[in-house]
Homo-oligomer: A and B are copies of this chain.
Amino acid sequence: MSSRSYRFVTNRGAPMQEVRVAQLDPAVRDYDEGGSGEEVTLRANEAAWRVRRFAPHVLTGVERAVTEVDLLGARLAAPVLVAPTALHGLVHPDGEVATARGAAAAGCGFVLSTRTSVPIEDVAAAAGPWWFQVYAMRDRALTLDLVAAAATSGAAAVVLTGDTPVVAPKRRPTPGVDPAAAHLAGLRARTGRDLTAVDVEQDPSAGTDLIRELGRVAGLPVLVKGVLRADDAARCLDAGAAGVIVSNHGGRQLDRAVATAEALPGVVAAVGGAAPVLVDGGIRTGADVLVALALGADAVLVGRPALRALAAGGADGVARMLRTLREELALAMVLAGVPAVTRPFPDVLHR
């Protein structure tokens, strides 16, 4: 990708549409696009979906693929949500409000990051079905307050990020981009308290008991994000989780963590249908979504594609990206003879 352009990644666009974003700061782009360590996992995520091959059916009479799905009580046009990512305000003046509006317009879910550029309440007002992502801050009371506020504002679920006991340093330098400082400033403004950087940094002592605590405060289902192991999935469910999100934080935390497409089947087997299993990391096309669903995911989340679409086209860009993803998924389903996302179809993958 050239230094100042974003493109929608779609199969349908022929050729793929490229939108130049002349005003985008290279440091912001590197902050959003980069990963930790040697960016091994960042690259591996995308590749792991692409190596899978389909064994499509012929002459099935599937006229229209049903992509609609119910997820934790919400009806979605497709099993796709916008993943929680920090500071949408860096790429668009309306920040998360625009992203949430785009997701709602496309009938997809939206997960708001704790590190939002915009107050929770403002986003909630613009959103369709949305969830709130949280991590354990050292100031536990503040953590719980935020979750309670999200619940009050209408969040339908809480997503607890489990893979970030500390924030891993990133590979690429991003001069002038300081998400921790922006986060701290936002929380000071929100609370009127003289919070310190330590108060709001990740609390590595957090364990699975936090799952039930969050659920109690919010009165909402809690999903754990960052699960890459079968035993951890079981631990989280045992501790009260309503679902798990297979994720390696988009290659931004432990570099060389297994690609999510490779971790997914083990987690699906461990959960055994007892709760929703979602997945993110490197999903860029409808074919990627179809692979994820075939491997047993109930839904997927897309992070960087949403940021790119937001940067390129605001709320409309986000909606368009998500609709394209849904159309690509529907097309791939029809071509593969898969009638609906609501029933398992593991055999659509070759071998």
Comparing A109-117, A159-167, A271-279, the segment that makes contact with chain B is A159-167
Query: Interface of chain A, helix or strand or loop or mixed?
Result: loop
B169 touches A58 (CB 8 A): no
Give a binary string over A315-351; 1 marks a CB under 8 Å from any B CB, 0 the rest.
Answer: 0000000000000000110111100000000000010
A334 touches B259 (CB 8 A): no
A254 touches B59 (CB 8 A): no
Give a binary string over A34-45; 1 marks a CB under 8 Å from any B CB, 0 the rest.
Answer: 001110100010
Residues of chain B within 8 A (CB-CB) of A206 are 59, 61
Give a binary string over A44-74; 1 marks a CB under 8 Å from any B CB, 0 the rest.
Answer: 1000001011111111111110000000000
Given A236-B59, A334-B165, A53 and B256 contact (CB-CB distance below 8 Å): yes
B170 touches A254 (CB 8 A): no
A205 touches B58 (CB 8 A): no
- Chain B residue at minimal CB-CB distance from A287: B256
Given A36-B11, A255-B287, A285-B37, A55 and B204 contact (CB-CB distance below 8 Å): no
Residues of chain B within 8 A (CB-CB) of A173 are 14-15
A26 at the B interface (CB under 8 A): no
A204 touches B62 (CB 8 A): yes
Residues of chain B within 8 A (CB-CB) of A11 are 36-38, 169, 255
Interface size on A, residues (CB 8 A): 69
Residues of chain B within 8 A (CB-CB) of A336 are 254
Please tell me how many copies of the chain the complex holds: 4
A162 to B337 alpha-carbon distance, docked (Å): 11
A165 to B335 alpha-carbon distance, docked (Å): 7
List A residues 119-161 near B (Cβ within 8 Å): 160
Most B-side CB within 10 Å, residue of A36, A53, A168: A53
Give a binary string over A299-312; 1 marks a CB under 8 Å from any B CB, 0 the rest.
Answer: 00000000000000
Given A229-B55, A256-B287, A263-B55, A40 and B50 contact (CB-CB distance below 8 Å): yes
A14's partner among B58, B163, B170, B259 (CB-CB below 8 A) is B170
A163's partner among B165, B224, B335 (CB-CB below 8 A) is B335
Give a binary string over A206-248; 1 marks a CB under 8 Å from any B CB, 0 the rest.
Answer: 1110110000000000001011110010011000000000001
A169 touches B224 (CB 8 A): no
A12 to B173 alpha-carbon distance, docked (Å): 11
List A residues 241-300 near B (Cβ within 8 Å): 248, 253-259, 262-263, 285, 287, 291
A172's partner among B14, B160, B248 (CB-CB below 8 A) is B14
